[in-house]
Amino acid sequence: MWVCGALCRTRAPAQLGQRLLPESRRRRPASASFSASAEPSRVRALVYEHHGDPAKVVELKNLELAAVGGSDVHVKMLAAPINPSDINMIQGNYGLLPQLPAVGGNEGVGQVVAVGSGVTGVKPGDWVIPANPGLGTWRTEAVFGEEELITVPSDIPLQSAATLGVNPCTAYRMLVDFERLRPGDSIIQNASNSGVGQAVIQIAAARGLRTINVLRDRPDLQKLTDRLKNLGANHVVTEEELRKPEMKSFFKDVPQPRLALNCVGGKSSTELLRHLAPGGTMVTYGGMAKQPVIASVSQLIFKDLKLRGFWLSQWKKDHSPGGGNFGSRRLKDDKRA
C-alpha cells in the first residue's frame, strides 16, 4: 500500500486501508530551476496526535512548510509505502516511538527541491530516502536536515527506491551476520512473499545460496510460487507440506539449512527449528502470528540450535558514528487551511 502525491488531491481524511498510487509511475525529470527562498507553503500530511487504531487516530492535516535553513533540504515526496512497522508505531507497539504529534511513515523516496547554503551532500533534483525511522514520510513535502537523508540513484524504479531502506537491508544483514554461509548452503524462511522474503531470495541467489521458501496455502499458490521462482527461489513449500513426514526425503537431496529466518512465530517458527541443521541459527525479525517462538529443550541441548533476533533500527544505532538519529520534529497546523 502506498501514501504519496495523492495527498495533494485528497480533501477527505485518507483511510490507511486504501491503496494510494505513487504520484507518478514515471521518473520525473529534475526541475530546471530551484529556489531556497520560497515563501512558506501549505503541505498535506497524515498526522496522529495519540496512539491507537490508525483508522481512528490518523488525520489528514495541512501543515506549514518550514523555511529552509543553512543545513536543510526541501524535499517533495514522490512515493511512500505503508509497512507493518508504520501501523505498529501508530498503535504505540513499536520499539521506537516518535514525539507526538507525528507524521506517519518511515520509508519513502523524495526529490530534492532546494537546499540550504551549507548543504554539500545533496543537490536539487536528487532522489533521497530517510536515513533513520521516524522521519514521517506520509506527506507531500517537508524540510529535513541533510543528515537525515541518503541519496539514491534516480534511474531505478520508483517503488524500488521508496522501499530500499528497510527490507533489502534487513535481508542482507540477516544473511551475512549470523552464519558464515558459503555457496551451496541452504537457508529456510517463512513469510517468503513478504518484502524481506523476496529480498532474501534475490540476495541469496546472487550469493549462490539455496533458499527453501515457506508459504501459507492459498488459492493462487502456483502463481505466487512461479513469481518467487522467477526471483531466484530454489524451493517453495507450504506450511502444511513442511509438517509432513515426506520432508525427510526432501532433505536427503537438499542440504539441511544452517540459517532460518522467522517473521511469523508460533507453529511456523517451530517447524523452521525442526528442520534446521545441528548448530544452526534461527533469526526472528517479525511476529505476524502474534504468537511466541517455542523451542523444545532437546533442540537446544542435543542440536545446539541458536535463537537470535534482528531489528534494523538497532543495527543502525549500533553501527552509526552518532548512534543513529531517531526523533520527530514538532508539527505546525496551517492556520490558513
In tens, the pLDDT along 249-270 reads 898 889 999 999 999 999 999 9
39, 119 Cβ separation under 8 angstroms: no
Report which of residues 8 and 149 the model is more confident about: 149
Return phi, psi of residue 58, to 5°: -85, 130
Residue 325: pLDDT band with limits 50, 70, 90: low
pLDDT at residue 6, as a whole number? 57
- Residues 6 or more apart whose Cβ sits within 8 Å of residue 36: 68, 74, 114, 115, 116, 117
- CA dist list (Å): 231 to 15, 169, 194, 334: 32, 17, 13, 46
Its sign, for the CA torsion 255, 261, 264, 266, is positive
Reference 82, options 54, 102, 48; nearest CA is 54
H or E stretch covering 149: strand 149-152
| pLDDT at residue 323 is higher than 80 | no
Average pLDDT of the residues in 228-246: 94
| pLDDT at residue 144 is higher than 60 | yes
| pLDDT at residue 321 is higher than 80 | no
C-alpha cell at 50: 495519540
| pLDDT at residue 167 is higher than 50 | yes
Q: How far apart are CA 36 and CA 116, in angstroms?
A: 7
Instruction: Enumerate the active-site residues.
Output: 94
Residue 8: pLDDT band with limits 50, 70, 90: low
% of the chain at pLDDT higher than 70: 84
pLDDT at residue 330, as a whole number? 46
What's the half-sphere exposure (Cβ side, CA atoms, 13 Å) at 283? 24
Mean pLDDT score of the chain: 86
Report which of residues 12 and 244 the model is more confident about: 244
Average pLDDT of the residues in 282-298: 93
| pLDDT at residue 23 is higher than 70 | no
Report which of residues 11 and 217 the model is more confident about: 217
Question: pLDDT tens for residues 41-72?
Answer: 789 999 999 999 999 999 999 999 999 999 99
Report which of residues 151 and 11 the model is more confident about: 151
pLDDT at residue 290, as a whole number? 87
Q: Indicate the pTM of the whole model.
A: 0.82
Q: Is 129 helix (H, G, I), strand (E, B) or coil?
A: strand
% of the chain at pLDDT higher than 90: 74
Ranking 285-294, 299-308, 321-330 by mean pLDDT, the lowest is 321-330
Report which of residues 206 and 15 the model is more confident about: 206
pLDDT at residue 252, as a whole number? 87
Full strand arrangement of the beta sheet holding 42-48:
58-64, 42-48, 102-103
**DSSP H helical segments within the chain, as ranges?**
54-57, 84-91, 158-162, 167-177, 195-206, 221-231, 239-242, 247-253, 266-275, 297-301, 312-319
pLDDT at residue 87, as a whole number? 94
